[in-house]
Structure 1
Amino acid sequence: MTYPPNAPAASAARGTSGAPAQPGVQVPAQPGPPPQPGRTPDAVTAAGAHETPGLWRQGRATLRRAATTEPGRLRILGTVLALLVLAFGAVTASEVAYRSSYADDVVDRSQPLSADAADIYRSLADADATAASAFLAGPQESADIRKRYTDDIATASRLLVKASASTGSDGTSAREITTLNENLPRYTGLIERARAANRQGLPLGGAYLRYANQTMSLQLLPAAERLYAAETARLQQDDDAARTWPFLSIALGAMALTVLFRAQRRDYRRTNRVFNQGLLAASAACVAAVVWLVVGHGLARAGLDDARAHGQESLQVLNQARIHSLKARANENLAVVARGAVLTEDGKTDKYEADYAGSMAALTSDLKDAARLADDATGADPLTEATKRTAEWRERHTRARKLDDEGDFTGAMNLITGTALSTGQSFDQVDAALGRALAHEQNEFTRAADGGRDALTGLPLGVAALGVLAAAGVVVGGNRRLSEYR
């Protein structure tokens, strides 16, 4: 019988693998192959996992050995103290710089933008009132009235460009500025059509004027009012951020002083030395930093509080008063132009006359609030003048309406658009008085806010330098004690 050539080898292999183990005989473990240079990532990770606990254990053992000797304890204490005072200086510098930047924004950006937004509204509303006055004056409008209208439009356009550059392209303010830029050319175009029709004696001029007023009342003035509200809200946010106490810095300063005191007390109890010059210098630096921080921020907060109470709140009320006076004047003129053609929703009352009455009531209330907030004669005198002229305005308007109801349209027109003893004269006097009051309160705000901002000048760098000085004092004091063990 013929077998394949490899049969004996296969039988030998089977015989070897199938040989039973002899009892009582232990086979020694055979060494594995030597590690290869290209180990797998899992093997490397496993090796690192075994090494890391060993390193931690060695580190903890080193710290325990250091903590059992006085030089080791001094080194640990010095390191902790140095890091603590450095953290105090760094955190304080950061917090104070943050608040100082918001104080700068209050003075240089937020408040000026809020004032510009109010001026945009005033310019647009005055342009609308002036356009109506020019229409009522007849085909031959005066050069002064025309110049006042063009100046108002130019001022609004210039302030819109300035506000757009300061607010960026996002947010509520940017959207309102876009609305104003889109609708202002439309408004001026309607006014020019009204003027052209009025010069030709066409009744269509009155319709164009009412359409222009609708654009102003429904698009431009609401957008300007929302822009003013948004910038005023941002001013409030910046003011709040600048006035917030740096509690973290104060807490770190108190902690650093506590640890420094305990370290010096420990040093005294162990050596009977009253002073460690390095730690004493570090303590003095920390005390100076904490006192500077508390006093400086307290003065800044007091200045900003004064700016808010005696400037910011008064400015908001005065701006509202000016807005209501402008609305009242525009509605008064349009009531004469429309002559009852536009009614309220119930169809019983002249809409423009009703809006005039509402604006005058709001103006009277604003003047009372502004007089209550005025804190000196310079601020109160213009408000007394404005209140007196508002009363005259009401009385002259009542007379004009009576003449119009009696059929004396010419007499009513003279009382509204005349240069002397007219409602137009009263409006100009009220507006001028409010302008003087606004200028005074603006100066009060700027003075107080500048004082608050100046209180933070140099504080971030100064506290950071004191933190470094304190850390150096800790190192010097610790080294002097360590030198005694060498």
Structure 2
Amino acid sequence: MNVFGQGGKRDGQPAFAPPSVVHDPRGHSDDESWIDGSLQQPRSPRHPLLQALASTFAQPLLLGRRLAAFVATPPGVMTAVTLVVLLAIGAAGFSAAQSSATRQQQLRTLIAATEPVSFAAHNLYTSLSAADTAATTGFANPQGDDRLSRGRYLASLQRAAGAAVEAASGLPQTGSEDAVAAIRQIESQLPIYSGLVETARANARAGNPVGSAYLGEANEMMRQDILPAAATLFQLTAGEVATQQTALTEPQWVPLSGQLAALIVLVMAQIWLWRVTRRRLNKGLLTATVCMGFALLWTAGASGVLWYAGERGFTEAASPLATLTEARIVAQQARTDETLALISREVSASGSDGFSDATDTVARALDHTEQATAHNSPNPAIAAARAHLSAWEDAHRQIVAAEQRGDFAAAAAIALPQNVESAPAVILTPDTIDSRLLLDAPVDTTRAQQTTAAESYAQLDADLARLITGARSVMQDYLTGGLAANTLLSTIVTIATIAAMLAVALGMRARLQEYV
């Protein structure tokens, strides 16, 4: 039986009838429902951290891609080169200006604070030794104790007290615990020393032999305790001056290398620009090169002047100052031993050997000072000091000869000051403290040959004091000259750097406008 009817139709249905279509309420047919289902499938949520990173870096990454695309173009390359040149110039100029300003401030501190503290320690050292020498001389010659020797002793103590205060006030800036301890030791023991000296003087005036024992105890305290502390203080402060001077006078290698690198970058930029634009010179870059070259030369010149000041200052001032100070202390102690021998009425070979060692030290110090200042005009104080040293040696030999034959009266006449009644009274004023009392003798150097050991020693001490003052003045002059060379360096480098950066910007701007 044919299941299909006529025309290929199933019974009851038309031929080739499409399948029935069911419409949903939204108007979509069942044939498209699978698409809607796939679109409506839920996606897995992104991690909050990834969302935060995407929202944070999406815009910068986009800008970075755009910037990279711009840099790949000729205007972008030129802009990048401009920024590199500006950065190199700015970094070099800032480094040089900052280094110069810092060094200038440190030089001012060295000149105004550190060096004066060192010289105050020097004054303390020499004043204490001079006080001990004057006290011993006054005890050996009590007739003149109330006039010349007494005045020198009191003036030396006054100078020592003032120098101790000045050094202590400046020590916080140098920052040395050992120096503070030395100051405290001196300040605590100096009243005890002066009390022993006054007790010895009172017993001597009363005719009590025990006075020499008190003087010997005072002298031992000065040499064993007080003077070593003063020497430590002087060495620490002088070492601080030398350290700062060495550090501040070294060439400024970092700023100089930075400025040289900036010049190299400028030259390379001009070569690159010439190859790109076929133009040999760029006015802006050429002007910047001149500005940076000027800044480099000025920095190098200032560094050279400061280095020379440090080298010459150490050779002509710092080193002679240390040797002269030590020579003066040794001479003062030799003079004290010479006087103590009269008081104790003892003659020993060790005393003569000690005197010879002291005079040899003084002679070497004079030779060292003369060699250090050989290129300068001859210093008359050195010749005068040699003459007075020779006269003192002759007088000392006469003293030893008189002591060996037991003629202590003749030895005292040669060793101690004479004509004390005609000696001028000592007035404790700033002028006398700074001139006559500082030198412990008149400043007349024409009398090379003296009749007594006291006069020869006084003149020698005066010559050494003048040489020390001159050495300090030389060092201050060199440091001041170095400071003057660096005074305008920071300002000039800053101006040259700004001018160079403006010139680079203007010079490259003209080339960039060609691409507009």
How high is the TM-score relative to the length of structure 1? 0.84
The answer for the alignment partner of 2:320 in structure 1 is: 314
Between 387-396 and 355-364, the greater mean CA deviation after superposition:
355-364
Mapped pair 1:175 → 2:181:
yes
Deviation at 1:473, TM superposition (A): 1.9
Query: Could you say which residue in structure 2 is the equivalent of 1:10?
Result: none
1:85-128 Cα distance to aligned partner (Å, 9 max, x none): 11111100122223323433443333333332222111111110
Distance 1:417 1:55, change over 3 A: farther
Q: 2:303 — aligned with what?
A: 297
For the 8 Å contact 2:327–2:358, the answer to whether it is kept is no
Paired AA for residue 165 in structure 1:
S
Q: Which moved more, 1:137-146 or 1:238-247?
A: 137-146
Residues 325/51 of structure 1: CA separation in 2 closer, same or farther (3 Å cut): farther
Residues 62 and 178 (structure 1), Cα distance of their counterparts in 2 relative to 1, 3 Å cut: farther
- Take 2:52 and 2:511, find their aligned partners in 1: how far apart are those partners? 40
Letter matched to residue 137 of structure 1: N
Q: Which stretch of the first structure deviates more once superposed, 256-265 or 161-170?
A: 161-170
After superposition, the Cα gap between the structure-2 partners of 1:62 and 1:179, relative to the gap in structure 1 and judged at 3 Å, is: farther
Amino acid at match of 1:68: A
Matches within 5 A, 1:317-356: 317-340=323-346, 355-356=354-355
Tell me what 1:392 maps to.
391
Name whichever of 260-269 and 352-361 sits farther off. 352-361
Q: Report what 1:218 is aligned to.
A: 224
The 2-side partners of 1:407 and 1:320 are apart by 33
Q: How much has 1:328 moved relative to structure 2?
A: 0.9
Question: Which residues in structure 2 correspond to 1:135-150 (within 5 Å)?
Answer: 135-138=139-142, 141-150=145-154
**Does residue 1:249 correspond to 2:248, yes or no?**
no
Q: What residue identity is the alignment partner of 1:265?
A: I
Indicate if the aligned counterparts of 1:105 and 1:238 stay in contact, CA closer than 8 A. no
Matched residue, 2:133: 129
Matched to 1:301, the amino acid is: W
Q: Distance in 1 between matches of 2:111 and 2:320?
A: 16
Determine the C-alpha separation between the residues in 1 that align with 2:81 and 2:345: 88
Listed as ranges, the matches of 1:7-406 within 5 Å are 48=52, 57-58=61-62, 60-138=64-142, 141-168=145-172, 170-171=175-176, 172-340=178-346, 355-375=354-374, 379-406=378-405
**Contact preservation (8 Å) 2:334, 2:354:** yes
Assess if the C-alpha contact under 8 Å between 2:415 and 2:452 holds in 1: yes
Q: Which residue pairs with 1:412 in the alignment?
A: 411
Residue 12 (structure 1) aligns with: none
Q: 1:194-226 CA distances to partner (integer Å, 9 max, x unpaired)?
A: 111111111121111111111110111111111
Against the structure 1 CA distance between its residues 242 and 403, is the aligned structure 2 distance closer, same or farther, given a 3 Å change threshold? Answer: same
Structure 1 range deviating more: 394-403 or 97-106? 97-106
Q: In structure 1, what is the Cα distance between the partners aligned to 2:298 and 2:324? A: 37
Amino acid at match of 1:478: M
Quick one: percent identity of the two aligned structures? 25
C-alpha distance in 1 between matches for 2:271 and 2:472: 54
Superposition deviation, residue 334 in structure 1:
1.8
Quickly say closer, same or farther: Cα 1:354–1:58, change in 2 above 3 A. Answer: farther
Amino acid at match of 1:476: L
Q: One-letter code of the match for 1:446?
A: Q
Instruction: Give the letter for the 1:69 counterpart.
Output: T
Is residue 291–residue 500 contact of structure 2 (8 Å, CA) maintained in 1?
yes
> Structure 1's 264 and 446: CA in aligned 2 closer, same or farther, altered over 3 A?
same
Please state how far the C-alpha of 1:378 moved relative to its aligned partner: 5.5
Alpha-carbon distance, 1:150 to partner: 0.7
Cross-structure match for 1:4: none
Range 85-94 or range 403-412, more displaced: 403-412
Displacement, 1:289? 0.8
Once residues 110 and 504 of structure 2 are traced to their aligned partners in structure 1, the CA distance between those partners, rounded to angstroms, is 39
SS in structure 2 of the partner of residue 456 of structure 1? helix
**1:145-202 CA deviation, whole Å, 9 max, x = no partner?**
1111111111111111111111218413222222221111111111111111111111
Change (3 A) 1:480 1:117: same
Shift of the alpha carbon at 1:458?
Answer: 0.7
Aligned-partner Cα distance in 2 for 1:356–1:444: 31
Q: Is the 8 A contact 2:320 2:365 kept in 1?
A: no
Correspondence list, 1:422-433, <5 A = 422-433=452-463
> Secondary structure, in 3 states, of the residue corresponding to 2:142?
coil
Cα distance in 2 for residues equivalent to 1:410 and 1:208? 23
**8 Å CA contact retained: 1:102, 1:239:** no
Point out where structure 2 has 5 or more consecutive residues left out of the alignment.
1-39, 419-449
Query: CA-to-partner distance for each residue in 1:311-330, whole Å, 9 max, x for gaps?
Result: 22222222222121111111
The answer for unaligned runs of 5 or more in structure 1 is: 1-27, 36-42, 342-348
2:144, 2:482 → 1: CA distance? Answer: 54
Farther-moved stretch of structure 1 (196-205 vs 296-305): 296-305
Measured after TM superposition, the shift of residue 264 of structure 1 is 1.8
Distance 2:376 2:263 in 1: 49
Range with bigger deviation, 185-194 or 95-104 = 95-104
Asked if structure 1 preserves the Cα contact closer than 8 Å seen for 2:189 and 2:226, the reply is: yes
Question: 2:324 touches 2:362 (CA, 8 Å); kept in 1?
Answer: no
Structure number, greater radius of gyration: 2
Aligned pairs, how many?
445
**Is residue 316–residue 369 contact of structure 2 (8 Å, CA) maintained in 1?**
no
240-249 or 107-116, larger mean C-alpha shift: 107-116
Query: Residues of 2 paired with 1:270 and 1:445: CA distance?
Result: 56
How far 1:467 moved relative to its partner? Answer: 1.3
Q: Which residue of 2 aligns with 1:452?
A: 482
Of the structure 1 ranges 402-411 and 322-331, higher mean CA displacement relative to structure 2 is found in 402-411
